[in-house]
Structure 1
């Protein structure tokens, strides 16, 4: 909400939210989270078809998440219930909802509860576009000085590169925020979404973002938008 009001200079944001931020913000080319053939996952206690997803409620982690937008692009409109992302897995286990759209560490832990994968949106997106699924980015206010914006991107890129080059130290720090993941799974999860595209999304990452937003615009899911990018 603060981003939508233009109250922050720099912030993380979903790619979906960027459709509503482009008037005030630019996307930094460092710091993106992109799934390369994997991504947010719809799970259930039972095997189900894509048609089932259109008929029965799906618990989703928010309507401005990229996961929600990607799911709409995949199956069209569907009934949904919004709940905090860290409560969705338990709601599916207890049978409170038939399906849950999992983001973050839930993508690695749902099999512990004997849940089954109905749809991996990263797999679907890669089959459709041969591009990574762009989920989250960092944005910076357009009206800040250009030198300052480039400096922020450069320092962010250097920080990510340092973490990748000092993986053990970085994973040890990340464990503080792992929400119950053991070290092995924490390292796997970090490796999924902190990669070469996080250091620099490059033309492939930019194309992925533009493609996602263009397809969503064509479907009428978001207003027409043209994202602007800032590098170092």
Structure 2
């Protein structure tokens, strides 16, 4: 049986899926047609139900939960792994942080605080990314958003086409080398607010597939993650091939940051973090009502 599978070319995804698509493990007779796309393209494909299995942002999952259910392995959650809000100019950084501090201290009306930063141009890696969701919670006044490929955000800041950048993935390791400044780590913000790991993205499977196929994929994906941890250099050439000339040390920093115990199995803590994300989003009316179970299996 051949299934369509979508994931990003980022090192954390290629690290996880290498053994599965290259038959380094028992795939129980499954074959995979692979599609490499950036996360927002994968989100859009999920909304249309195009793929049998796909990586998507947890924010986007809320809009695709009628079509997909979450597998136990392959997710990206963790502490210290969240998206960063960055800028080029110190006055922009000060303005945003001043608004944040004033809001926390109750110094000004919320509407006035929003207006102070509403004109700033913000480059985001996609409307339905979890990064954009987190920024909306922390800085609701940042409304002038420009969607672009995550890999274009740093250069757009340097060229002053945008004032603020919301960065994800390997850009966490490169922005300082280009003279850009961190405004806030939104993952750290989330952790302090909730005490939970930040849920970034997960692997979902189409609900219309037979139950035995969904469970088979669940087992095979777990095997692939286990193999990757046991043989971390096995997929080096495959990872490098899709890493856009990334330095090997940066590639493995990226993997270490995003692939962890939650990638092996969400477990109770991972599920708690995802549920909390959805609960907050529902409270703030950022997402529609959820009427399906999020998780394929029960604990």
Aligning the two structures, in what range does the TM-score lie when normalised by the shorter sequence? over 0.9
CA contact (8 A) 1:59 1:97 kept: yes
1:201-212 counterparts in 2 under 5 A?
A: 201-212=266-277
* Counterpart Cα distance in 1 of 2:188 and 2:175: 17
User: Counterpart of 1:25?
Assistant: 68
How far did 1:143 drift? 2.4
CA contact (8 A) 2:81 2:258 kept: no
CA contact (8 A) 1:30 1:231 kept: no
* Counterpart Cα distance in 2 of 1:5 and 1:64: 14
Q: Which structure 1 residue ranges, 4+ long, deviate > 4 Å from structure 2?
A: 52-55
Unmatched tracts of structure 2, length 5 or more: 1-43, 100-115
How far did 1:76 drift? 1.7
What SS does structure 1 have at the residue aligned with 2:63? coil
CA contact (8 A) 1:54 1:75 kept: no
Match of 1:123 among 188, 194, 208: 188
User: Counterpart of 1:4?
Assistant: 47
How far did 1:172 drift? 4.1
User: Counterpart of 1:200?
Assistant: 265
Match of 2:127 among 59, 63, 76: 63
How far did 1:38 drift? 2.6
Q: Deviations over 1:43-92 (max 9, x none)?
A: 11134133275551210011011111111012224221111111111011
* Counterpart Cα distance in 1 of 2:166 and 2:146: 10
With normalisation by structure 2, the TM-score equals: 0.73
Unmatched tracts of structure 1, length 5 or more: none
Q: Deviations over 1:79-108 (max 9, x none)?
A: 211111111110111222111001111111
* Counterpart Cα distance in 1 of 2:277 and 2:60: 12
Q: Deviations over 1:200-227 (max 9, x none)?
A: 0111111111111111111111112255
Q: Computing the radius of gyration over CA atoms, which structure comes out larger, 1 or 2?
A: 2
Distance of aligned partners of 1:186 and 1:161 in 2 relative to their CA distance in 1, 3 Å threshold: same
* Counterpart Cα distance in 2 of 1:201 and 1:190: 17
Match of 1:148 among 182, 193, 213: 213
Match of 1:81 among 130, 133, 146: 146
